[in-house]
Structure 1
């Protein structure tokens, strides 16, 4: 009987789908000690998942190469330095899967939808869960536009923003610069330029230090998240991003972005401090003012 949770099975299957047929069949022989003979990849994948004791055992298998885990994380919107060692990638992958297991409804056996346009408010909904789901969706979508990842760009566009959406971008990379963009099209294009043109990868920190979610009685949900910024092998600095989300009653009560405040600090502005898991500098009082 498999020791993997439903979430881990699904994610391990994604990694197996990145492997060559020969490696999948070889791994099936390894996990079953050649006691079960398989001929097809689909059968081999199911066998591997069924006979794997836990997620860490799977990730540490020799056939699950470092490059495979790196590619998997990139596709999931998690940017890691390309020179990361395998044990670092394994640790980050396990953290990602652990956070996703927390998103499973107590009365369901599958994760909640993570796409922004299918996330609805329900009675007793958990704002923190919504914030985690939104960040996973948003950064995976935005990072997919980066051509250096070599993957098919996902459905990015102005449709995810309110028509009067506003972006405030504060950049501290040598000198300080503040820019504002108004309207769904301009906000969409400026954020798109970060990944498509500037080739940045934004990796959010979704633990308790890096993510805060507040709600207002007027229907606004505020999601604040911190993370690191990468380009190729370099970690360029950190970011803090605040999203204002409001449901659209004309579009199945889906969530759309009302405003974005993005603050970027380059390495020179950090004074050599550790940026592996950045924390939010905003306190709850400051965030509450944005909800009013």
Structure 2
């Protein structure tokens, strides 16, 4: 019996740790054909990991529910549409375990040190060959993994969130279209970071970006301002509350090892009543490149 690799054991253990005691004991009985008696969660997990033939077999077990795999992927920064079926989630998980991916500099994962496609230029202006869309994808993977980690419902250790990811004069404009329309505006790295933190930590919202072509757009100004626009769905626990569109303005900070920092954030939230079912499944951006270009001025 080939069994699980060391990496697969570690990742499976993360997934099993969020299951209920009853489901774990039942899964242990299934995997061991009731030949191994277990008395607690720790023994059940060890039996499951020891007697599982391969990772795919474990992920396909009925007790490993679709929501468990989805939340695991969200914690690890692997973005998938919220309506993805279980067999697709299993495939995505196996690919992630086989190849993995780097969302940020591993030596300092809580800082946004993203690699340009052309060169590691220390200049504020963008070099020829720079791909703003590639940066946008990396940034969104980094940002939403970091923000969602603050959500206590995910049961994970929060990553290092704070004003250090923003410029001192950063601005946030938050427009909410749910049960009426409300606009909030904040200025300063501390206030902006605290308001965004409250979305995840206090309001327990989980923001799931749509990184497919119709959900993500990015462009760059001649002076180095990169605009990243992304659409996505908003969740609380297992409920989908609505959709959002978010525009980030990013600039390299020469005083902070040339890392990218957030200059401004525009966030528009729409509740379920304001959108249709198809849009809820795969939200698309409503702003076009011309509208983004106006923000570069």
Structure 1 residue 128 displacement after superposition: 1.8
Aligned partner of 1:268 among 268, 273, 277: 273
Aligned partner of 2:166 among 161, 165, 169: 161
**Equivalent residue for 2:114?**
119
1:209 aligns with 2:214: yes
Partner Cα separation in structure 2 for residue 100 and residue 221 of structure 1: 32
Decide whether aligned partners of structure 1 residues 28 and 112 sit closer, same or farther in structure 2, where only a CA change above 3 A counts.
Answer: same
Decide whether aligned partners of structure 1 residues 264 and 57 sit closer, same or farther in structure 2, where only a CA change above 3 A counts.
Answer: same
Partner Cα separation in structure 2 for residue 290 and residue 10 of structure 1: 44
Partner Cα separation in structure 2 for residue 148 and residue 289 of structure 1: 38
1:243–1:258 CA contact under 8 A, matched in 2: yes
Aligned partner of 1:181 among 181, 186, 192: 186
Equivalent residues in 2 for 1:63-102 (5 A)?
Answer: 64-66=64-66, 68-77=68-77, 88-92=85-89, 94=91
Cα shift readout 1:104-145 (whole Å, capped 9, x = no counterpart): 9xxxx9646365422243424432221111111111111111
Aligned partner of 1:128 among 124, 133, 136: 133
Partner Cα separation in structure 2 for residue 242 and residue 119 of structure 1: 18
Decide whether aligned partners of structure 1 residues 272 and 118 sit closer, same or farther in structure 2, where only a CA change above 3 A counts.
Answer: closer
Gaps of 5+ in 2: 17-41, 120-128
2:104–2:112 CA contact under 8 A, matched in 1: no
1:193 aligns with 2:198: yes
Cα shift readout 1:44-63 (whole Å, capped 9, x = no counterpart): xxxx4xxx6xxx66642567
Secondary structure at the counterpart of residue 250 of structure 2: strand
1:230 aligns with 2:235: yes
TM-score by length of 2: 0.73
Partner Cα separation in structure 1 for residue 256 and residue 166 of structure 2: 12
Aligned partner of 1:253 among 258, 275, 282: 258
Equivalent residues in 2 for 1:1-80 (5 A)?
Answer: 13-19=10-16, 22-23=44-45, 26=48, 29-31=51-53, 48=54, 59-61=59-61, 64-66=64-66, 68-77=68-77
2:253–2:259 CA contact under 8 A, matched in 1: yes
Structure 1 residue 192 displacement after superposition: 0.8
TM-score by length of 1: 0.74
1:144–1:153 CA contact under 8 A, matched in 2: yes
1:287 aligns with 2:273: no
Aligned length, in residue pairs: 256
What root-mean-square deviation, in Å, do the aligned CA atoms of Structure 1 and Structure 2 show?
3.5
Decide whether aligned partners of structure 1 residues 278 and 149 sit closer, same or farther in structure 2, where only a CA change above 3 A counts.
Answer: same
Structure 1 residue 153 displacement after superposition: 1.2
Cα shift readout 1:218-266 (whole Å, capped 9, x = no counterpart): 0111111000011123211100000000001111110100000000011
Structure 1 residue 18 displacement after superposition: 3.6
Gaps of 5+ in 1: 3-8, 32-47
Decide whether aligned partners of structure 1 residues 217 and 12 sit closer, same or farther in structure 2, where only a CA change above 3 A counts.
Answer: farther
Q: Compare 267-276 and 71-80 and name the one that shifted more.
A: 71-80
1:239–1:265 CA contact under 8 A, matched in 2: yes
